[in-house]
A and B are shown apart, each in its own frame.
Chain A
Amino acid sequence: MKRGVRLLSREDAPPPLTEQSAVHIARRFALRDEERSALEAGRVRIAALGVAFAVGFAVIVSRSFSIALNPPESPVIAEAVNVTPRADLVDRNGEILATTLETHSLYADPREVWDADETARALTAVLPELNLETVAERLRRRAAFVWVARNLTPTQRQAVFSLGLPGLHFISEPRRVYPRGALAAHVLGMTDRDGAGAAGLELGLEREILDAGGRGRPLPLSIDMRVQFALADELGAAMAEFNAKAAAGVVMDARTGEVIALASLPDFDPNRPAAAGDEQRQNRAATAQYELGSIFKAFTVAVALEEGVTTVNTRYDATQPLRVGSHTIRDYRGQNRWLTTREVFLDSSNIGAARIATDVGAERHRAFLDRLGLLRRAPGELPEISSPILPRQWGPAELATVSFGHGLAVSPLAAAAAFATVANGGNYVEPTFRVVPPGTPIQSTRVMSAGTAAEVLRLMRAVVTEGSGSRAEAQGYMVAGKTGTAEKAVAGGYSRERQLTSFAAIFPFHDPRYVVLILLDEPHPTPRTYGFRTAGWNAAPTAGAVVRRIAPMLGVARYGDEPAAPAAPDGLVLVSNAGGAR
Chain B
Amino acid sequence: MMMIRALNVIGLVLAMALAVGLYRAKTEAHAAREHLDRLAAMVETERRASATLRAEIAFLERPERLRALAARHLGLEPADSSREMPLEQVLLALGGDSFAPPAPSGPSARVAAASPPPVSNAVAPAPAPPSRAVAMAQAEPAPESPENTLRTLDDPIAALILAGGVR
Interface positions of A (Cβ within 8 A of B): 73, 75-78, 88, 95-96, 99-103, 127, 129-131, 147, 149-153, 155-156, 175, 177-181, 183, 193, 225-226, 229-230, 233-234, 236-238, 240-241, 271-275, 474-477, 541-542, 545, 548-549, 551-552, 558, 561-562, 565-580, 582
Contacts and interface: CB of A to CB of B under 8 A. Distances in A.
Interface stretch (B6-14, B89-97, B136-144): B89-97
A552 B59 CA distance: 24
B155 A155 contact: yes
A181 B62 contact: yes
A574 B161 contact: no
By secondary structure, the A interface counts as loop
Interface residues of B, number: 65
B32 interface: no
Interface in B103-132: 103-105, 111-115, 118, 120-122, 130
B80 A130 contact: no
A179 B58 contact: yes
A233 B93 contact: no
A90 to B, nearest CB: 9
Contacts of A558: 81, 84, 86
Contacts of A152: 161, 165
B100 to A, nearest CB: 6
A423 to B, nearest CB: 19
**Leading 4 A-B pairs by shortest Cβ distance:** A580-B96, A575-B95, A179-B58, A579-B96
B104 A561 contact: no
A51 B54 CA distance: 63
A233 B41 contact: no
A577 B92 contact: yes
Contacts of A273: 164
Given A99-B54, A100-B51, A572 B64 contact: no
Interface string B71-85: 000000011111011
Contacts of B48: 78, 101-102
B81 A476 contact: yes
Nearest to B86: A561
B85 A229 contact: no
A241 B52 contact: no
A177 B63 contact: no
B63 A229 contact: yes
B38 A76 contact: yes
B95 A577 contact: yes
Contact of B81 (A76, A552, A571): A552
Nearest to B156: A179
Contact of B79 (A99, A181, A552, A574): A552
A149 B79 contact: no
B4 interface: no
